[in-house]
Structure 1
Amino acid sequence: MDIYTALIDEDDRLTVLEKQLARIVLDDAVFAVNASIVDLAERAEVSPPTVTRFCRRLGFQGYSDFKLQLARSAYVGMRYLKPESADGAATPAAVAEDIVLKAQDALFQMHKGLDLAAVEEAARLLRGARMIHAFGSGGNSAMIAHELQNRLFRLGCRIAASSDHGMNLMQAAACVRGHVVFGSSFTGRNAELVRCFRVLQDNGIPTIALTQGGSPVAEAAAVVIAVDLPEGSNIFRPTSTRFAFLAVIDILANLVAYADRPRATRLLRGIKEQLVRYRDEDDRQILGD
């Protein structure tokens, strides 16, 4: 049961007194979790039996069961019941400014905390690999894995991106000497990626993680590029951490290109020649879509 949906009472199942209780719990979940049944009854100006009936109406065995479920849900529920964005902040100008400023701040904070030694080691592994596998699942990390492929194939790297857990595990098991595996996880709690990294570690295959520092994914990786950025409470705004992760990919790609400039120049020129010949008519357009 989603306890917060029940408390909002969209189906109008609660009595007037029970709605008073629901409002108090929604307004101060911390109080409700720590209050005795008498404390909650007094604040709502109802009797303890009314509190008990209220809990049972919501589908719980009693007040203790209700508090237990409330405590488990509180860390998720309130941010989604009371989102940050106000009506006045929903204009195109306000939204555009908010998105751009958050992206700028994410880039600044990432740059300020970037472990350059880890970035250098990751770039060294990538440019020296016979084969690179890029793993990432979910909307953001899958995009990052494919973006690494998009950046590195044009520099002559053999690279394949995958966002399928089963395929990732099979590819990890099939890796041999000279292979390198890159993994992206915004939360660092991707258990399937951790499993892949442990298989690779056992087989002596280098691994690179772009993830939160100190997370399970970070602990399982050989090289960790940590991106630790706070998330706001506005549930409607896409995470600005995406921009930081993309910037790290660009940094790695640039370092790989600079490590062998003649080769990178030759390959990029060959790609551009085909684009100019069959699509662009000149070389003023960007290199690829």
Structure 2
Amino acid sequence: MISSSASGLLQQMRERLEQLPDAQRRVVQYVLQDPREAVAATVEHLAQQAGVSMPTIVRTCRSFGHDSVREFMLALAQDLAVSGSYIHRSVLAEDAVQDVASKIVHAAVSSLADLGRRMDVDMIDRVATQLAQARRIDCYSVGAASTFMANELQSRLFRLGRTANAIFDAHQQLVSASTLGPGGVAFVISHVGRMPYTIEAARFARSQGATVVALTQPGTPLAEAADLLLAVSVPQDAVMRVGTEAYLAHLVIIEILTVRLAQKLGPVATRGLQQFKQLLHKHGFDSVGYEGVLDQAPGMEQDD
């Protein structure tokens, strides 16, 4: 057994990987794919993900000089604090391109799997019911990431026949909040959840009788200002305030929510979606039919 004081635990695991028995190698490979997730995982979760028994987890920790899993994880957390990367939470500066791709994909998949385990499906159902009954739905956002999400949500609601707007201007959000009233929904999207003027608009909309739905992290000021909270928790990104994993998590929540809404709206929504798809297929800018129209237009030259 080698004491982790000789060198960093992460470095030890990389150096000894090929020398370990098969089962222990699987454990170490899993830990190296996303060390920060491993630190927070239970022994049962580690064993399940690595495809080994729980005693194998203990033996692996002991093979690196630690008497318990807790001691091993503490050493791993300390090593991460010292050697943490500002490139990506799972990627080290010396990683090869194959490792970069593997770690980022694994981190995204792991984050979505964790989202699925934590998801409050009853809350999603309540929000879908509220959207189905709403007279008007105004989607508030701030910043590039949240505005992208608000536009995506508005587009999906629009296709389902809901009266919906996407608003990112601070003054327009206040105007919206003053006119929604009972029967209206202010759907506020902000992963950070701390922008003062958007929170002010949410609170004002609520004071006017509208229902406020927030898609944000739990425990934020926005979460506290909402009637209904769609909570999204993902690991913090090393570079951006809202990283790729947060993007994916928000999109997945929006997808689930709008599919559930379509179920509640029934055949009318299904027929509308089918008609909309057929319309775009026939007349959309990227359709074969539209290219034919361009070919017939006077003065249009054909590209080689």
Normalising by structure 2, report the TM-score: 0.61
Q: Which residue of 2 aligns with 1:29?
A: none
Contact 2:145 2:242 in 1 (8 A): no
> Which of 183, 187, 196 is the equivalent residue of 1:182?
187
> Which of 97, 100, 111 is the equivalent residue of 2:102?
97
Q: Which residue of 2 aligns with 1:86?
A: 92
RCO comparison, higher one (Cα < 8 Å, 6+): 1
Contact 2:134 2:184 in 1 (8 A): yes
Contact 1:231 1:239 in 2 (8 A): no
Q: Deviation digits for residues 146-183 of structure 1, max 9, x if unmatched?
A: 11012111111111001112211221112122211100
Q: Which residue of 2 aligns with 1:231?
A: 236
Q: Which residue of 1 aligns with 2:145?
A: 140
Q: How far apart, in 1, do the equivalents of 2:159 and 2:196 lie? A: 31
Contact 2:217 2:232 in 1 (8 A): yes
Q: Which amino acid aligns with 1:199?
A: F
Q: Which residue of 2 aligns with 1:114?
A: 119
Q: Which amino acid aligns with 1:89?
A: D
Q: Which amino acid aligns with 1:255?
A: R
Q: How far apart, in 1, do the equivalents of 2:241 and 2:182 lie? A: 44
**SS at the partner of 2:193?**
coil
Q: Which residue of 1 aligns with 2:263?
A: 258
Matched, 1:170 2:138: no
After TM superposition, give the deviation of residue 81 of structure 1 in Å.
Answer: 7.3
Where structure 1 has 5 or more consecutive residues not aligned to the other structure, the ranges are 1-77, 283-289
Q: Which residue of 2 aligns with 1:240?
A: 245
Percentage identity across aligned positions? 31
**SS at the partner of 1:87?**
coil
With over 3 angstroms needed to count, the CA separation of the structure-2 counterparts of 1:81 and 1:106, relative to structure 1, is closer
Q: CA RMSD in A?
A: 2.5
**SS at the partner of 1:251?**
helix
Q: How far apart, in 2, do the equivalents of 1:176 and 1:235 lie? A: 36
With over 3 angstroms needed to count, the CA separation of the structure-2 counterparts of 1:123 and 1:236, relative to structure 1, is closer
After TM superposition, give the deviation of residue 145 of structure 1 in Å.
Answer: 0.7
**SS at the partner of 2:209?**
coil
After TM superposition, give the deviation of residue 238 of structure 1 in Å.
Answer: 3.4
Q: Which amino acid aligns with 1:129?
A: A
Contact 2:86 2:239 in 1 (8 A): no
Normalising by structure 1, report the TM-score: 0.64
Matches within 5 A, 1:1-289: 85-89=91-95, 91=97, 93-233=98-238, 238-279=243-284, 280=287
After TM superposition, give the deviation of residue 83 of structure 1 in Å.
Answer: 7.2
Q: Deviation digits for residues 97-138 of structure 1, max 9, x if unmatched?
A: 233222212211111111122111111111111110001111
Q: Which amino acid aligns with 1:258?
A: Q
With over 3 angstroms needed to count, the CA separation of the structure-2 counterparts of 1:212 and 1:82, relative to structure 1, is closer
